[in-house]
Amino acid sequence: MEQAMIAYIVGAILLVIAVFLLARPIKLLFKLIINSALGCVGIALFNLVGGILGLSVGLNIVTALTVGILGMPGFALILFLQKIL
């Protein structure tokens, strides 16, 4: 009985340590997902408005992640690369 109790305590301690070690990467992953989703919305809105001016940006996972990670400078980078290439 004592061995089972010790095993449960050690297991609980290891679980708490694992949660603390994984909390930050999971938080960063959720932040990246939310920023990428907002980047998709921003690109879609730009394509709606930019269509009047003849500007559009392809909406795919690479452009969404670029805008999600870099923000507005990432969006400017995509526009710049589109004009160059």
What is the mean pLDDT of the segment spanning 56-63?
90
Average pLDDT over residues 11-25: 90
pTM of the model: 0.71
Nearest to 29 by CA among 69, 85, 2: 69
- Amino acid in position 82: Q
Contact 21, 57 (CB under 8 A): no
The pLDDT mean for the chain works out to 90
Q: How far apart are CA 31 and CA 27, in angstroms?
A: 6
Banded model confidence at residue 55, pLDDT cuts 50, 70, 90: confident
What is the structure's pLDDT at 78? 94
Tokens (6 digits) for 76? 């400017």
Percentage of residues of the chain with pLDDT beyond 90: 46
